[in-house]
Each structure stands twice: as structure tokens, then as C-alpha cells.
Amino acid sequence: MDDNQNLAQAMSEGGLTQAELAEAVNGHLRGAGHDGTVSDRTVRNWLTGKTRWPHLRQRQALEAVFGCTVEELGFIRPAGRTTPTTKPEQPVLRRTFFSAATGTAAAAISPFVGARPQVGTSDVIRLRNRLDALTALDDSRGGHESLEQAALAGAAEALELQQRAASQRVRQRLYGVAAEYTAAAAWSAVDARQGERAQNHLNRALHLAGLGGAAEAELQVWNLHAMLARQGQHFTEAVHAAQAAQATRAARRDPLFASLAHARTSLGHAQTEDRQAALRSLGYAEEALAKASTDNPRPSWVAFYGFSELLAITAYVRNDIGDAPGAEAASHRALAAIPQQFRRNRALATLQLATAQLRQRDVDQACATADQVFALMAGDPLPGRMRSYLGDFHRDLITLAPDFATAREWEDRYRSEWSRAR
């Protein structure tokens, strides 16, 4: 008898315990007018393989909870059985604004149809899936107002649902989801360089994370506080915010989160011109990341972070402390490793590479590299943060190489793209 690894993985990704999955399935059964008789033991039998094919109503409820077929969840139809289960609802991630016909983020946050009087774990999962879709859009395009508004709509929906939560546990999880949505709105504002809006969202997100006891959302907020402070050139505050992220429960129990917090601290130290502290924090980030498990279930917003992103952050730090060759080497390694779907991050790493090349007076190569940023982001407006970094590169270029023909050509391209990207 083999364990059901597919179901175990689906539960892990959804952050579900055996008791919570039983609660979610029972909620669907009761909503359909049936008795909710699934217990922890029932779920344990599913996980151990003792029950290989639940009865029809349970199969339908499982499909509704996870948005996939029971076969995809690892259950095995007995030989000779041909009666199909009810066709599961199309997975949430396929019902989002990735449709080329709409092209809008708002479609990702649609009200639940026929919501039950009580809200349970399956509703939490649905909201999280919609948040995953917003994160995927951000990875590709970057922060923008429609994404920010969609995230705020998701937070409002989570808060409305928590008023009808079936249990205190569900209520806390909905507060946590609302915190994550609000932090996503804050991040979109940070990336768009809308500092005042970002600060307001972060204050709200921290409050919601506290209500939900959401350690990972709390770390996310402090991470964004550090980024916002650095953006506003409040570099000491950026260090302190990153150190607050280090102190969170999430960073203490998961080395990956600790690594991110140390990397963010390194960026703050680099801007305060504390070279040794910056390099020391980078070392801590590398050590922590080496200890991080790749199997731990984590929220989608942190999927960008790993060795490739740490290399990209290393390039920022090296450029800031005056080590352009080190920044160039780190940028090349980052670009070789950053997954293709992280289009915005690849464009930013490319710009750091161009900056490192320019600071070594390799003007022609730097301009050619910076041109790739426009190609990478073709079809979408440039996020405000990227526009700011391009402005920094432009100022460095006209300072270091005002008479280069290549520099003048790039400046013309830059002005054209700047006007188009508004």
C-alpha cells in the first residue's frame, strides 16, 4: 500500500492540515445538502492509501476544494469502474486575467457565486489561488495601478468573508490572506514608485498580519518597508526594517526567509557606505540560503527568491560599494539562472549588468546591454522603479561618456522609450 503523495503535496501547497481538509470537504458536503462525516481519520486513510477511491460525494467535494480531478490528487479508480465523477471546476489559475482578450488584472478578483452562509478552508484556498495569479502577473509585467486595485479588492473580499468564518482558525487565515493581498498592493505601489500609497498599504498590512498571526505576511511587510525606505533614500531606516524582518518568526523558522532578510539588510548597509557590514550580511544571506529546504510550502510572493535573486542582489551591493567587476560577474551569473517567467527581474538584472559595464568605462557594451531592457519589457509600460534605475544609468552615461556617439544614440533611444512608456 503506497502513500498518496499527490494528495499530500496538494495539502502542503494549500497549507492544509488533515483536520482542515476534513473541515473543507465537510463544508462542501453540507453545502450540497449532505451530512459532513469526513474526519481526520478519513483523511489519514486517503493519505496512507488505505482508501484508494473515496465515494462519489467525497470525490466531488475534493475536486471542488482543490480545483482538479481526484485522479490528479493521486486517487486510483478501481478496475472496471467507468462512472465518471462530476467535472471539476476549472482551476482558479486558469480563470484569471492572463486571457489576452481581457488583459486586465481586475478579472482575477471575481466575487464567489452562490457563497455559503459559512465560510471555510476551501474559500481560503480559492482566495490564495487568486493571489497567486496576481503574483504571476507582477513577475512578468511589474507593479501597476490595476494590479494594485485588484489586490485591494482581494483584501476586501477576504475581510468580508472572515465575518462569516466557520471557525476561529478560518477567521485568522482570512486575516492573513487579507494581509498578503494588502502587501501585494503595497509592493505594486513600491514598484511603481508611489511611496505614499505604498506606506499606507504597508501600515494596513502589518495590522492585518497581526490579527491573523501571519508570520510570513509580517516578514513580507518588513521586507517591503526596507525597500520603500531605500527608495526614499532613508538608508538607516532601510537597515532597521530589514533587521525587523530578520527578527520575525518566519525568518527564525525558515532559512530562506532569513536569507532574504539578510540580503535586504546588505542593500541598506551598502547605501550607507558600510562596506564590511554589507558584505557580512551578504555572507549571512548565502549561508542561510544554503540551509533552506526546497520542499517547504511557501507563499507565492517569495517564489522569486533563491540563489539567482541573491546573485542579482549581490550585483546591486557590489555596484553600490564600488566593486564594478564583482557586480558584472554577479549579474552574468544571475541572468544565467533567473527563470524566464520573472521578466521584470531579468530586466532589472540586465540593467545592473549595464551599470557595472559603464562604471568600467565599457561604454559601447553598456549601451548595448541597457538596450536589452527595452526588448525584455516590450509590450508593457516600464514600472516606475525600473524607469528610475534607467534614469540613474542615463545620468551616469552622460557624466562618464558625454562625447561617445554610442552614448548619444542610446540617449535618443532612452528618451523615445521614456515617452512611450508613460
- Per-residue three-class SS string for 279-337: HHHHHHHHHHHHHCCCCCCCCHHHCCCCHHHHHHHHHHHHHHCCCHHHHHHHHHHHHHH
Any idea which residue has 489519514 for its cell?
44
Confidence of residue 170 (pLDDT cuts 50, 70, 90): confident
Write the DSSP symbol of residue 383: P
- Segment 98-109 mean pLDDT: 39
Residue 65 and residue 67: Cα distance in Å, rounded?
6
Domain with CATH 1.10.260 in the chain: 5-82
- Segment 152-171 mean pLDDT: 88
pLDDT tens column, 2-30: 788 888 877 876 667 888 788 788 877 87
Burial grade of 45 (CB within 10 A; 0-12, 13-18, 19 or more): middle
pLDDT reading at 276 higher than 90: yes
> What is the predicted pLDDT for the residue at 114?
42
Residue 342 and residue 142: Cα distance in Å, rounded?
9
Confidence of residue 113 (pLDDT cuts 50, 70, 90): very low
> What is the predicted pLDDT for the residue at 229?
95
The residue that leads in pLDDT, 253 or 93, is: 253
Name the CATH architecture for the domain at 5-82: Orthogonal Bundle (1.10)
Per the CB < 8 A criterion, the answer to whether 47 and 18 are in contact is yes
Angle between helices 56-66 and 121-141 (to 10 degrees): 30
Per the CB < 8 A criterion, the answer to whether 400 and 410 are in contact is no
Measure Cα distances from 360 to 73, 323, 324, 327, 372 in Å. 54, 10, 7, 11, 19
Per the CB < 8 A criterion, the answer to whether 157 and 111 are in contact is yes
Q: Which amino acid is residue 177, in one-letter code?
A: V
Confidence of residue 144 (pLDDT cuts 50, 70, 90): confident
Residue 275 and residue 281: Cα distance in Å, rounded?
10
Identify which of 147-161, 162-176, 243-257 has the greatest average pLDDT: 243-257
Confidence of residue 96 (pLDDT cuts 50, 70, 90): very low
List the end-to-end C-alpha distance of the chain, in Å, as a whole number: 60
pTM: 0.74
Residue-by-residue DSSP string for 43-93:
HHHHHHTS-SS--HHHHHHHHHHHTS-TTTTT--PPTT--PPPPPPPPPGG
pLDDT tens column, 37-54: 888 889 999 998 888 899
Question: Strand pairing partners for 165?
Answer: 119
- Segment 69-86 mean pLDDT: 73
Q: What is the chain's mean pLDDT, rounded?
A: 84
Closest CA to 350 of 329, 368, 370, 365: 370
Residue 392 and residue 218: Cα distance in Å, rounded?
31
Closest CA to 242 of 288, 216, 281: 281
> What is the predicted pLDDT for the residue at 80?
62
> What is the predicted pLDDT for the residue at 85?
47
> What is the predicted pLDDT for the residue at 24?
80
Q: DSSP 3-state assignment of 23?
A: helix
Say what the alpha-carbon torsion angle 227, 203, 130, 70 is, to the nearest 10 degrees.
100
pLDDT reading at 90 higher than 60: no
pLDDT tens column, 209-251: 999 999 999 999 999 999 999 999 999 999 999 999 999 999 9
pLDDT reading at 263 higher than 90: yes
